Amino acid sequence: MRKASKREKKAIYRYNEEDERTLLEDILGFVKVFAITAIVILVFMNFIAHPIKVNGKSMDPTLEDGEFGFTSLASVWLNQINRYDIVVVTTQQDMTDSQTGETTNETIQIVKRVIGMPGDTVSCIDDEIYINGAKLDEDYIDPDYIKECREKYGYFNQIEQISTDDEGRTVVDYVDFPEVTLGEDEYFVMGDNRPVSKDSRDSAIGVIQRNQIYGVGVLVLYPFDELGLKG
């Protein structure tokens, strides 16, 4: 068997050296692409948009339970918050463990619609919302749907108030929706599905501070037949 000549050995050595250098360049290239991609994703999710899942029926029929999409963070940074916008709000809520019965106060995100802007006086008369004495046009709510809900749940100008009687029993009353004047950086938000929505009418949530608004609008990506920007 013929031994490799010195020239052939040098050629093989150069080939292996070039091969290793190419492999190293490929690895470094992959790491660079991965790092850039990770940075872009982090910037996107922290400053531009963030994924959101709709939980519950408080925004029916505009947004349905289980829908998934993105909300715009940039609109909040740019102070682009307007009346009728759908917003994602960060708030506190008491959550009860179904197994242990223990109640803890947790930070949650809820999806609602902006009804009142800073400085507005908001009131509700016979299911109609008034802003500074003028009736609010709410074309996103179906009158037939309102009628059906009124017959089933009662008037929208009433809110659920939960209290405890002298014997420790939970009592659910309905109280009139009070007129409220919003301060600087305060917003009044409501769900489109008024009878089942816990929103600014509920003292547990109340008026929303601007720094509680996490995102504006919801771009629904799933289910696919609901694809589109809401709010």
* Catalytic sites, residue numbers: 58, 112
Q: Where are the alpha helices (DSSP H) in 60-185?
A: 74-77, 143-153
- CA 102 and chain centroid, separation: 26
Cα(125)–Cα(163) distance, integer angstroms: 24
Cα(191)–Cα(136) distance, integer angstroms: 15
Which tokens go with 62? 């505009």
List, in order, residues 6 or more apart from 39 with CB less than 8 Å away. none
Write phi, then psi, for 7 (nearest 5 degrees): -65, -45
Quick one: which of 210, 188, 215, 209 has its CA closest to 199? Answer: 188
Cα(42)–Cα(38) distance, integer angstroms: 6
Q: What is the DSSP letter of 100?
A: T
Cα(192)–Cα(60) distance, integer angstroms: 6
Write phi, then psi, for 23 (nearest 5 degrees): -60, -45
* Residue appearing with tokens 């309102």: 146
